[in-house]
Structure 1
C-alpha cells in the first residue's frame, strides 16, 4: 500500500528528529494532526483527498526547514533528562559512598594525610555543586524556557558537562580508593552487600551519564540555535 503525502511527510520527519522517544512522538503526532486538519479543510473546499494532502504538506513546509525548530525542543528535552540523570546519579553515589565509607572505617586507626583530606573535601563539595547545578539546568530546560532563551548551545553544553562530571568523579573516586586502607583486606572484608552495591553503582551510574550526555550532544547537533 502506497503511503499518502501526509504519511510520507510524517515518516521523513520522524527519521530526521533525534531525542527522547516520548517527546519525539508528541512532536510528530502534533505535526500529523496539524496536517490532517489542514487536509480536511481543503477537502471541504472541494479538493480530493490526495490533492488535499499535497496542499497541506506544501503549506506546512519542507522537512529540512522545520526540523531544526522541532529538534531544538527535543535537544532541550534530552538535556533536561541528562541533567536529572546527573543529579540523581551524583546524589545516589554520594549517599552509597558515605555509607560504605562509614561501614568500612569501623575500628580504623588510620588518619588521612593533608592531600587525601583536601581531595576528599573537593570531591564532596563538588558533588553538592554538581547536584545543585544539574537541578537548575533541568528547570531551565523545562519551565525555565518561558523566562529565558536557551537552545542548541545550552543543550550541547549540558551533554559536555555530563561527560566532564563523569571524568572528574571517576578520577577522584579512583584516587580516594587507591589511597585509602580499603584496599587492605586485613582491614576491610571484601564482598559485603554494601560494597557490592557501591561497586555496581560505580559502574552503572557513570555509564548512564555518559550515554545521556552523548545523546544530548547528538540531539543538539542539528537543532536551531
Structure 2
C-alpha cells in the first residue's frame, strides 16, 4: 500500500482548507506544489534523501494554517470578481430583454400607467443602472484594484450579500410590475411569443445563477 509523501499530504491538506473557484484554486495549489518540489530538489542536491528533502521543504513552507489565509484571500477576491461580473452582465441582459418584450407587447395596449406604477418602473430602472455600475466597480476592486485598495474577505462577503439582495429586489419589483400591467391574467403577449419565452427563461435562470454565485462569495469569504 502506497503512502502519500510529505509534499502530497501537505498539498492535500491545503486543498481541503481552501474554498473558491476551481480554476483559481487549482492554480494556487499547483503553485504551492511546484514551490515545494523546487525546495525538495534543492535539499536533495545538498545530500538529503527524497523523503527527508520533502519533509525539510514542507517545514520551510510553514504550516497550512499559516499559509491558507493568504491563499483564501486570493480565492475570495477571484470569486468576488466573478460574482460582480455575473451580476452586472445578468442585470443588464435582463433589463434589455424585458425592455424589448415590454415595447413589443405595448403596441397592442391603450393603457396609461398610473403615477405609482411609473415611480416603481423608474425605481427599477435606476436600480438597474446603479447595480451595473456598482458591479463594475466591485469587479475592478477585486481585480486590478486590489493592488491599490485594501479589499479583502469582508468586501467579498459584502459582494455576495449584495448579489443575493439584488436578486430579491428585482424579483419583487418584477412581480409588482407584472401584476399591475395590463397583460396580467389575460395572456396577451402582443404577438411576441418567442420573445416572451426567452424573457421567461432569462427571468428564471439568471436570478438562480446570481444567487448561487453570491452564496459562493459568502462561502469563500
TM-score range, shorter chain: over 0.9
TM-score, with length taken from structure 1: 0.95
Q: Determine whether 1:11 maps to 2:12.
A: yes
Distance 2:60 2:11 in 1: 14
Which position in structure 2 is the counterpart of 1:166? 167
> What is the root-mean-square deviation in Å for CA atoms of aligned residues?
1.2
Cα offsets for 1:156-185 (capped at 9, x unmatched): 000000011001000000000000012243
Q: Determine whether 1:217 maps to 2:218.
A: yes
Which position in structure 1 is the counterpart of 2:108? 107
Which position in structure 1 is the counterpart of 2:130? 129
* Residues 1-225 of structure 1 aligned to structure 2 (within 5 Å): 1-185=2-186, 187-188=188-189, 192-220=193-221
Equivalent position SS for 1:213: helix
Distance 1:96 1:187 in 2: 17
Equivalent position SS for 2:183: helix
Q: How many residues align?
A: 220
Cα offsets for 1:122-181 (capped at 9, x unmatched): 000110010011011001100111111110110000000001100100000000000001
Distance 1:145 1:182 in 2: 47
Give the unaligned 5+ runs of structure 1.
221-225
Distance 1:207 1:190 in 2: 28
Cα offsets for 1:174-222 (capped at 9, x unmatched): 00000001224364358801001111111000000000000000000xx
Contact 2:77 2:156 in 1 (8 A): yes
Q: CA deviation at 1:107?
A: 2.6
Extract structure 1 runs of 4+ deviating beyond 2 A.
Answer: 184-191
Equivalent position SS for 1:181: coil
Distance 1:30 1:71 in 2: 14
Distance 2:187 2:202 in 1: 24
Equivalent position SS for 1:183: coil
Distance 1:124 1:44 in 2: 66
